[in-house]
Chains A and B, each alone.
Chain A
Amino acid sequence: MRTCSDIQRDLSRYVDDDLPPDEQAAIAQHLASCEVCRGIEADLRQIRARARTLGPVPPPGHLWSNIADRLRTENVGARSPVQNPFRSSKLEVRSWPMSLSRGSWAWLGPAATLVVITLGAYVVPSLSRRAPAAATPDNATPAVSVQDVADELDQALAHYERAVAGLETIARADGASMDPAVSAALQTNLTAIDRAIAESRTALIDQPQSASARASLTDVLRQKVDVLQTTVALVNDLRREHEDDAAEAAKKLGKQS
């Protein structure tokens, strides 16, 4: 019997119609009777729809090589107006550990949820699906520049950064804090993941056509999503009796915005 947590883990892929037919059907059946999961599904669809209004991202065959060029340029310190399409990982590298070290990381759940959606519903599927196409550089598709991809991701990320900022405000107002040991463990592991992301990126710079470097980068990004998703799922399961508190906090946010 699949629990709501299980269903929610697969919702992104469900929305993307990316699951085997039997799993699609099982989730559809669950959604028919579960208002909470149905609500999250609706949110996911909304967010995906928003992301798509930012413009289509056809898979250019030369994408990986171009990305590698861009990364190489960044690494030698040249400031470019074009942002790196992997900026999503940079966002996390920069903001999460800092926030954790401040000890006010109870917004981890909501922030993780948002990052999960950003990565899981937008970036990671793009990477995982489009990466193989890059192995055949001659499968010419309408030219879409790295600039286009980067701009779209930047806009999407900006959207979520604003949302995360709002939730941080709530967390601070509530004086929320988490067990230091768990906080430290998460911080250590997120740092380890970020290190792995950096290694994979460097490998991709050195060998843009390397299937293993591409696979590694995608895997590690996905693992980061999984970690955040696991964290959210665990804490989410404990939230039930605190719905009233949550509603009060939501009211506060409504007044602030």
Chain B
Amino acid sequence: MTRMDRTRWIRLTTAIVTAAALAGVATAATAQDRNYPALRTDRQTRTLALGATGSLDLSNVSGDITVTAGPGTSVVVDVTRESRGRTEADAAQGLQDVQVAIDTQGDHATVETRYPKNQHSQSPYRVSTIYHVTAPAGTRVKATSVSGNVSVSHVKGDLEVQVVSGDVTVSDAARLTNARTISGTVRLSDVTSDAALSVSAVSGNVTLERVKAARVSADVVSGDVRANDVTCGSATVKSLSGTVDYTGPLTRGGRYELTSHSGNVTFTAVGPVGFALDALTFSGSIQPVGSLTLTSQMARRGSLLGTVGDGGATVAIRTFSGDARIARR
């Protein structure tokens, strides 16, 4: 690795360290409110003339974000800062130190919660910032938060939501590409995307209801994945220790991979397109359910291959110790 490459690499990784440190300072807030009895709040509203299809990049550290579509061509950002301090003076200092920076260039706006540099965990205040955003439906939105729930509804522009600790809820969105959290749940309903949709939670459940996308990827470590009425060209759905439950119509030529290490996998194909089944388990069981009929069936211990209907799609199910149930309706 050249010196330049090494420097760049170090810059990237140490930047992550720095961000993580700042995140830690802020997200310790909620658990320690009792140690910070004084409360000061501040509320401000900004109107950003971004047009009907502008873009908004919103980054928060601690506090919830709510984005919903509204009339007009401007984005309205309502910000409430809550500063808790050991004393009233500390709380006031918190409001002074933690600021919301709004930068607008053309049809793009960046809204960020900024904490002072070198803030440490013994800081005499804790500040959380709550955003309520109303944007034209066509606005492209990227919302990022370290600690807090993010909820987005009725946004039809490109949409991406990433949270470290908190729940992600998206409803009635037209171009969602990413919804991620490390610790929290992800709930998507009435969501479409003409591209790939990636959903992940390390610790928490993922629920997809009435989702349409070119490709769907859902990945959970400890939590269940429930995908109901999902329509896509291909899907990769995984949980390590939770159950995977997938129901939806298949696309001819599509591939649907459902995996759980120790949880059960239930797959229900809906509609006329059949599938070639390739199911594999180490110590669980594989069972067709109801009236499912497999042709060209080949069953061995822990393995079931066969064709359902016209075999137009491919369904691959993998479990280690969980059971697999396959149905069609």
Interface residues of A (CB under 8 A from B): 1-3, 5-6, 36, 39-40, 42-43, 46-47, 50, 106-110, 113-114, 167, 170-171, 174-182, 185-186, 188-189, 192-193, 196, 199-200, 203, 207, 210-213, 215-216, 219-220, 223, 226-227, 230-239, 241-243, 245-247, 249-250, 253-254
Contacts and interface: CB of A to CB of B under 8 A. Distances in A.
Contacts of A216: 261, 282, 318, 320
A196 B262 contact: yes
Contacts of B21: 106, 174-178
B24 A185 contact: no
B224 interface: no
B203 A43 contact: no
Contacts of A1: 158, 177, 195
A185 B59 CA distance: 22
A177 B147 CA distance: 14
A171 to B, nearest CB: 5
Contacts of B18: 174, 176, 239, 242, 245-246, 249
A36 B1 CA distance: 17
B177 A231 contact: no
Interface in B208-255: 219, 221-222, 238, 240-241
B11 A250 contact: yes
Contacts of B182: 182, 185-186, 230-231, 234
Given A179-B27, A223-B240, 16 more contacts: A1-B177, A43-B5, A109-B20, A113-B16, A167-B17, A175-B21, A175-B120, A177-B24, A192-B222, A196-B241, A211-B303, A212-B280, A233-B162, A241-B112, A246-B15, A249-B18
Interface of A is mostly: helix
Nearest to B280: A212
A213 B320 CA distance: 7
Contacts of A230: 180, 182, 200, 202, 219
B22 interface: yes
Interface of B: 1-2, 5, 7-25, 27-28, 31, 59, 112, 114, 117, 120-121, 142, 144, 146-147, 158, 160, 162-165, 177-178, 180, 182-183, 195-196, 198, 200, 202-203, 219, 221-222, 238, 240-241, 259, 261-262, 280-283, 302-303, 318, 320-321
Nearest to B7: A250
Contact of B162 (A114, A196, A237, A250): A237
Nearest to B279: A212
Given A226-B219, A230-B180, A245-B117, A46 B1 contact: yes
Contact of B14 (A46, A170, A179, A238): A170
11 contacts: A2-B195, A175-B21, A178-B20, A182-B27, A182-B164, A226-B219, A230-B202, A233-B162, A235-B20, A236-B15, A241-B114
A246 B31 CA distance: 28
Contacts of B17: 106-107, 109-110, 167, 170-171, 174, 176, 246, 249
A153 to B, nearest CB: 19
Contacts of B19: 109, 235-236, 238-239, 242
B120 A250 contact: no
Contacts of A188: 203, 222
